[in-house]
Amino acid sequence: MRIAKRVLEVKPSPTLSIASKAKELKRKGLNVINLSAGEPDFATPDYIISAGICALKENFTRYTDISGMKELREGISQKLRKENGLTYSAEEIIVSTGAKQALYNAIVVLCDPGEEVIIPAPYWVSYPEMVRLAEAVPVVLQTRNFKVDPEELERTITKRTKVFILNSPANPTGVIYRREELKAIAEIIIKHNICCLSDEIYERIIYDGEEHISIASLNDEIKNLTILINGFSKSYSMTGWRIGYAAADKEIIGAMKRLQSHSTSCPNSIAQKAALAALGGNQREVERMRKEFEERRNFLIEKLNQIKEITFPTPEGSFYLFLSHPKISDSLSFAERLLEEEKVAVVPGIAFGQEGYLRISFTASLREIEEGVERLKKFLKNKGGDR
Ligand code: PMP
Ligand code: GLU
């Protein structure tokens, strides 16, 4: 059977496929160090699990509102007010099956075929593919120092530009945008009246006492043009529960709701109860995990600094480190050989639109990080990188 062109052109998610290849090798008994997976390795906190069990026992097992339970949307509304200084009513929020579905719905709802979406590189792997699925055009904006230069952003905008995607803290570089930088970007977005899809999924995983600022919180004009995306996967170690959300004006959320009504009907009811408990419960667990990521980041940096010629931006947030080395020219073959020969799984930079780099995810124990870096060091020394 002939598959639709729109899907034929879409590549499978490289982050997910490398992570599952690493898991498969581990299952076969190989001593694989998996530094590829972009998911916290901690158990979901107990109080969240209990809420899920309770939902099951109470038979909370039916469809909910299409856009998620009102209580949960109200909880998210309070969270956005308290933590981000943003006012969204429950009608301006939609809960989806992971932030991934929220992003996908937003792109499908906003873009007509042929319209352009500006994506700064290096980018998270799924953005360009989601844009292609909407038959829109991903326009990759190469960055210097891993952040968007507002003047370059302005030069990239055309009559067909519909959306600009902002991801802070960023995957795969870990950079975060400061208030002044966000202000300059917001001015361009307002001037050209385009939408800003602001993916803030890593907002809680942030280091050195830095603060996360949502671009939507700068002023009402930018808020009206922003679709804010967030979720529970990273902050609460809930990747498998699949709960994310979007906040934006009623018209956009209403359109996303219409789309969702025909695709998934609503997010999983049990997971919604768990997400509600996550929001309302003690946030100490979130801080405990964040602290542990910070310790791992510091350890990883210390170890990598012992390898000559490796360079990387210091991750200020998220749990990724994006490194380059003169011997990594073809990052895909480098990563494949590193996995085959040294049994270390990382994601090649090319998957994020930046050749010559590798992404290391520090969602592994200190021991695994240490062993992974030792093997990388050995590989660089003995094999000399690319063939
Ligand atoms: N945005 C970014 C930048 C990500 O790295 C991820 C990876 N999980 C997501 C969104 C989607 O997260 P989820 O669907 O698990 O909520
Ligand atoms: N976002 C994570 C990553 O970048 C999980 C995998 C995915 O959804 O891409 O590794």
**Total residue length of the chain:** 387
Q: What is the pLDDT of residue 384?
A: 60
HSE, side-chain direction, 13 A CA sphere, residue 132: 15
User: Same structural domain for residues 203 and 313?
Assistant: no
Q: Which of 18, 126, 129, 177 to mutate to test the pocket of ligand 1 (most atoms within 8 A of CB)?
A: 126
User: Same structural domain for residues 30 and 129?
Assistant: no
Q: What is the pLDDT of residue 13?
A: 85
Q: Any bridge partners for residue 118, and if so which?
A: 139, 164
HEC sequence for 182-209? HHHHHHHHHHHCCEEEEECCCCCCECCC
User: Same structural domain for residues 138 and 256?
Assistant: yes
- CA angle (70, 126, 96) in 5-degree steps: 10
Please give the distance, rounded to the nearest whole angstrom, from the Cα atom of residue 17 to the centre of ligand 2.
10
Task: Write down the pTM of the prediction.
Answer: 0.96
Q: Which ligand is nearest to the CA of 104?
A: 1
What are the residue ranges of helices labelled H in the chain?
Answer: 5-8, 14-27, 46-57, 70-84, 98-110, 126-133, 150-156, 179-192, 220-225, 250-263, 269-280, 284-304, 331-342, 366-382
CATH (domain of 306): 3.90.1150.10
Closest ligand 1 atom to Cα of 102: 14
Residue 50 lies in a domain: no
Cβ of 77 less than 6 Å from ligand 1: no
Range of the domain at 73: 61-280
Residue 54 lies in a domain: no
User: Same structural domain for residues 126 and 269?
Assistant: yes
Number of domains making up the chain: 2
Residue 51 lies in a domain: no
User: Same structural domain for residues 241 and 367?
Assistant: no
User: Same structural domain for residues 211 and 108?
Assistant: yes
Tell me how far apart the alpha carbons of residues 46 and 173 are, in angstroms, rounded to a whole number: 31
- Which residue type, as a one-letter code, is found at position 28? K
Which of 217, 248, 280 is the last residue before a domain boundary? 280
User: Same structural domain for residues 276 and 288?
Assistant: no
- Got the DSSP string for 112-133? PTT-EEEEEES--THHHHHHHH
Q: What is the pLDDT of residue 191?
A: 98
Residue 55 lies in a domain: no
Cβ of 125 less than 6 Å from ligand 2: yes
In 3D space, the residue among 323, 294, 291, 325 whose CA is nearest the CA of residue 308 turns out to be: 325
DSSP conformation class of 144: B
Which residue positions in the chain have pLDDT lower than 70? Answer: 383-387
